[in-house]
Amino acid sequence: MRATLLFQAGDVRVEDVADPRIQQPTDAVIRIVTGCVCGSDLWPYKSQPLTDTPRQMGHEFIGVVEETGTEVKSFKPGDLVVVPFTYSDGTCDNCRRGLTTSCAHGGPWGVGGVDGGQGEAARIPFADGTLVKLPVGEDSELLPDLLTLSDVLCTGYHAARTAGVKAGDSVTVIGDGAVGLSAVISAKLLGAERIILMGRHTKRTDLGREFGATDVVAGRGQDGVAAVRELTGGTGTDRVLECVGLKNALVQATGVVRDGGVISRVGAPQYPEVPFGFPEFLRNITLTGGVAPSRAYIEELMPHILNGDIHPGRVFDRTVALDDVAEGYRLMNDREALKVLIRP
């Protein structure tokens, strides 16, 4: 089959790899219907050294079950399924607690003999634990919305949930990428009254307003902090959803959060240490969040998509064929696209 491989920074290609096949009785094999490029794919796309063992890229995808192992009980060939961005057994202590990203037997796509999601097909370990069936056909217009359940919507939702967003809260969302915009959707779903979106790309922040942002702050650093404080009578907001992953964004988060408030970070940290010493201690600021256990949120969020309450698939502003995936990476890396959908 054809799959996306990253050989080194900037060098992503679609090449032939081994066809997936059932290896364990708990496996399924799916034909991929749609996938996409993630902001987190851009970190290795920017930095990966040359390698002989290129990683299969992609971890957000929807597919049709083609074959199942003998122990798979919940799926049969023909089922349309959404795949969370990590696989998980669904039975271990962490999975039962909803922390599927810390599954005892789970892991990420594209490494250790596991396929990626930017290809024609994939073997799915622990199919019963990992997959969620979609109650629509593969030609449904909702597919882009449902694809966001793999990662980006759930990641934004994880930020809002771990931050404890509740009715009436004020929330700052840092970052106008697809995760930030998903965090806006999520904060609104949870009842936030005021949602301040910090971002400087007007096209994106305009979409953020449509998703529920009540204010947009284009300034960064001290200027941005001052603007948010002015909007909030000097106090900052109850919650901050940090959807970037850079140290500057986290410093900005401590600047805009109110005393006793919560920062949730869902941008993959590109820093080893956090400036979180005595001043933040005196202000009783909490730092939470982490990698999103998407699997645990899918059933909760899917009805909002099926009912038409939310349209998270609007973050996809470009579509490429699988063979043109390199162009998709370029578009996102050059910020010409917000998020790129892939149709094999």
Nearer to its own copies, 204 or 265 (CB): 265
Residue 286 lies near its own copies (rule: CB under 8 A): yes
Buried-state track 160-192, b at ≥16 Cβ within 10 A, e below 16: bbbbebeeebbbbbbbbbbbbbbbbbbbbbbeb
- Which residue of 290, 306, 311, 330 would you call a contact of its own copies, by CB under 8 A? 290
Contact pattern for its own copies over residues 292 through 321, marking x by CB under 8 A: -x----------------------------
Calculate the CA dihedral of residues 76, 302, 204, 321 and round it to 10 degrees: 10
Residue 241 beta carbon to its own copies: minimum distance, rounded to whole angstroms: 14
Nearer to its own copies, 74 or 102 (CB): 102
- Which residue of 73, 284, 321, 335 would you call a contact of its own copies, by CB under 8 A? 284
Q: Which of residues 69-98 bind its own copies (CB under 8 A)?
A: 93-94, 97
Q: For residues 95 and 128, is the Cβ–Cβ distance under 8 A? A: no
Give the span between the Cα atoms of 104 and 92, in whole angstroms.
Answer: 6
Task: Single out the segment in contact with its own copies by CB under 8 A; choices: 28-36, 120-128, 199-207, 289-297.
Answer: 289-297
Task: Single out the segment in contact with its own copies by CB under 8 A; choices: 47-55, 109-117, 134-142, 290-298.
Answer: 290-298
**Residue 75, φ and ψ in degrees, nearest 5:** -135, 150
Strands 86-87 and 107-108: antiparallel
| Tokens standing for residue 134 | 């979609």
**Residue 33, φ and ψ in degrees, nearest 5:** -95, -40
Half-sphere CA count of 210, side-chain side, radius 13 A: 12
- Which residue of 133, 194, 283, 318 would you call a contact of its own copies, by CB under 8 A? 283
Nearer to its own copies, 241 or 325 (CB): 241
Q: Which residues does 278 contact at the CB level (< 8 Å), separation at least 6? A: none
Q: Which residues bind its own copies (CB under 8 A)?
A: 93-94, 97, 99, 101-102, 162, 235, 259-260, 265, 268-269, 271-278, 280-291, 293
